[in-house]
A and B are shown apart, each in its own frame.
Chain A
Amino acid sequence: MTKLKIKNRLAQDRLMLWSVCLFAALTAVPLLAILGEVLLRGYDQLSWSFFTEPTPTAYKAMKAIEAGAPIPGGIANGIIGTMIMLGMAVVVAVPSGILCGAYLAENPKNRFAQVVSYLTDLLQGTPSVIIGIITYIWVVVPMKGYSAIAGSVALCIMMLPLIIRSTEETLKILPASLKEAGLALGGNKARVMMKVQLPAAFGGIFTGVLLAISRVIGETAPLMFTALGCSFIRFAVDKPISAVPLLIWEFFNDPNLQELIWGASLFLLLFVLTLNLLSKYLAKKWNQ
């Protein structure tokens, strides 16, 4: 009787172990499936011209399909648009995010800092489509038109909380003796922050920025109402502009351009995953 019971318990134990392993391993399946599909279907679209030419018109693409030729053109307009908007967003979000994070780390018990910290969480949890609506109301309506500036404002708002959090957390885990030593040497707080604390926290902050970039680079919804999209290469910041995820959305909706989806997705996916892995690697390296 008891022997049987023990056997049962041991069997249950083994069942638990195996099912944990099985189901945990199953979560890798979607990653492999998505990577595999995008790689296989997008691989033969990648060529030099794919990165240097703008998207073709639907008519041109239709002609090419009728003639049995590969669709001409590429996603250069999207890549340039993404880079422009991302660049503008980073220039604003990184310094202000770091300063705000420094404020939170310097005044942990302050009432106002707690409010700011709570609001950072709130903004981080806000769905990106709502950030799109907000930027539309704030920027697109007053400027009377979609623009790269509007798109970069949306990206900037989404990056801010991520940068603030990573700065705050990295500064908080620095040993207090570091700051004290700096102050004891006669540096004032600003000098110690600039010359001691921020350089020591550089690794963590840099990883945070990389992660923030990888988070927003694939965002589509907020750009739909702000940057709108544009079918040729453009450098003006006050006009509608394209972005790689916006192009994927356009290709998805246009039957003539559907073949271009996979090349563009492959580019975006590789870019995002590389940034992710790089930031993970750097975080590990700097932690040692």
Chain B
Amino acid sequence: MNDKIYKVILFIAALIMPIVCGGVVYALVTDAYEAFEHFGFFKFLTSSEWSYTEGAEQYGALPFITGTLMTTLLALIFCIPFSLPVALFVGEYFKGTRVAAVLSTVTDLLAGIPSIIYGLWGFYTLRPLIMALNISPQGSGVLTASLVLAIMIVPYAASLSAEFIKMVPNDLKEGAYSLGATRAEVVRKVIFPVAGSGIFSSYILAIGRALGETMTVTMLIGNTNNIPDSITSTGNSMASIIANQFGEADGLRLSSLIAIGFILFLITALINMIGKIMIKRARIA
């Protein structure tokens, strides 16, 4: 095989990516078009109606956009107190030791558990607990979904943050120690400022994960098509409404679901892009 044929073969293989991604966007846009045309793009985004009585069909994405944003934001808040210590444990306090290796294996395994099993655990263990604590009567809801989501994104946030914490140059830390700083002060005044942008970007990527999580949220959020009015009430996220209704939908409803999928695709693509750019910058700096 000569070099020319080899190059052509590799090039053809690389063409798969543009074809697949172009196909994704094309398919989403053409199939979502009916809904956008019928309701208008901005009207679709801001309407909170979701009713499929024949003849008076009304579909809007607002309840699901709100649901997704609420679960993601709450999951992020719940995840920080755990992922940051894990990152410090692995990247600074016990860097390179056996305990750190065990802990990072544990978080790797957490990342490997399929989301449907997280959903089962949330449904059969966490939901009764929430009912028993009288936090919400039905147990499922935005709060339950976000708690489990938080566990799911801890590994992503922690492993990437740990990487940035490890990269903080030793002479900076030693400089601080020689001035009499305690380790806690080194963490707060040296590690966080230096690794801060990297840590921040790892949380952005964790958000990207949480936005599209489907099965866990579907099993735990309660599946009602309203804007959740508090964190304990039920709702639906963009991914969960698709998972719930896609199989039985047709016509305008199917198109509306695909439109929601398109919006979700745009949001995750944007968040991931921001995260990747920030990581690149943090790595160079």
Contacts and interface: CB of A to CB of B under 8 A. Distances in A.
A193 interface: yes
Interface of A: 9-10, 12-13, 15-17, 19-24, 26-28, 30-31, 33-34, 37-38, 96, 99-100, 102-104, 106, 112-113, 115-116, 119-123, 125-130, 132-134, 136-138, 157, 160, 164, 188-191, 193, 214-215, 217-221, 224-225, 228, 245, 248-249, 252, 261, 265, 268-269, 272-273, 275-277, 280
Contacts of B109: 31, 273, 276-277
Interface stretch (B44-52, B168-176, B210-218, B224-232): B210-218
Contact of A133 (B123, B242, B269): B242
Interface in B215-262: 215, 218-219, 239, 242-243, 246-247, 257-258, 261
B17 A134 contact: no
Interface string B10-47: 11011011101101100110010000000000000000
Contacts of A16: 183-184, 187
A30 to B, nearest CB: 5
Nearest to B19: A119
A126 B86 contact: no
A17 B107 CA distance: 20
Given A31-B106, A125-B272, 9 more contacts: A9-B185, A24-B82, A38-B117, A99-B10, A106-B10, A122-B272, A128-B214, A132-B246, A245-B116
B214 A221 contact: yes
A112 B24 contact: no
Contacts of B257: 133
Nearest to A102: B10
A27 B153 CA distance: 11
Interface size class of B (residues with CB under 8 A): 35 or more
Contact of B112 (A138, A214, A220, A252): A214
A170 to B, nearest CB: 16
Nearest to A265: B117
A23 to B, nearest CB: 4
Contacts of A22: 85
Contacts of A249: 116, 215
Interface stretch (B1-9, B54-62, B137-145, B192-200): B1-9
Contact of B214 (A19, A119, A129): A129
A80 B126 CA distance: 32
A228 B151 CA distance: 29
A134 B215 contact: no
Given A17-B93, A190-B1, A99 B13 contact: yes
B136 interface: no
11 contacts: A24-B86, A31-B110, A38-B120, A113-B14, A116-B18, A132-B246, A218-B113, A220-B215, A221-B218, A268-B114, A272-B112
Contacts of B28: 130, 133-134
A34 B208 contact: no
Contact of B89 (A21, A116, A221): A21
Contact of B268 (A99, A100, A127, A214): A127
B175 to A, nearest CB: 18
Contact of A112 (B14, B21, B93): B14
B185 A13 contact: yes
Given A16-B184, A16-B187, A138-B23, A126 B268 contact: yes
B85 A24 contact: yes
B108 interface: yes
B95 interface: no
A241 B192 CA distance: 51
